């Protein structure tokens, strides 16, 4: 039988965080080819960018540390699978898919940390 090892993440490093309004976070997910989804967890709608998989980033990843280069977030109390955005540039209503990531321990821990951070900064 194959030996299987579970190695959960131990650390998340975030290099930049920006709170943006709801329209802005939706607008950033619109591309000429369509839309990219957003993530929702416990009242926070967010997107993140990972660092390129360089040798150092891969080494960190194998040790249980991941890097998000940038996080954009907005508060959205109630989960909705689809959000609508009236996009002037494309002269149409864009539909943005939202993924409920509440089952992710990483995302739950991130949102809990973010709420504490933003409460301190107010």
Query: How far does CA 116 lie from the centroid of its chain?
Result: 17
pLDDT, position 19: 96
| Nearest 10 degrees: Cα torsion 24, 89, 96, 22 | 20
CA distance 38 to 25: 8
Residue segments in the chain with a per-residue pLDDT below the cut of 50: none
Q: What is the DSSP letter of 51?
A: P
Q: DSSP 3-state helix, strand, coil percentages of the chain (rounded to 5)?
A: 25, 40, 35
pLDDT, position 121: 67
Helix (H, G, I), strand (E, B) or coil at 109: helix
Whole-Å CA distances, 79 to 59, 62, 82, 122: 35, 33, 9, 25
- What does pTM read for this prediction? 0.88
pLDDT, position 15: 96
Q: Where are the extended beta strands (E) located within 42-120?
A: 44-50, 65-75, 82-87, 92-100
Helix (H, G, I), strand (E, B) or coil at 118: helix
């Amino acid at each position: 039988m194959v030996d299987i090892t579970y190695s959960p993440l131990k650390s998340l490093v975030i290099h930049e965080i920006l709170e943006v309004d709801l329209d802005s976070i939706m607008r950033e997910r619109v591309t000429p080819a369509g839309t990219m989804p957003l993530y929702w967890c416990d009242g926070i709608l967010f997107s993140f960018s990972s660092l390129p998989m360089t040798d150092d980033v891969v080494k960190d990843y194998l040790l249980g540390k991941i890097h998000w280069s940038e996080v954009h977030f907005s508060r959205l109390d109630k989960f909705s699978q689809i959000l609508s955005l009236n996009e002037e540039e494309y002269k149409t209503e864009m539909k943005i898919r939202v993924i409920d990531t509440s089952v992710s321990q990483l995302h739950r821990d991130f949102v809990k940390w973010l709420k504490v951070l933003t409460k301190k900064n107010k």
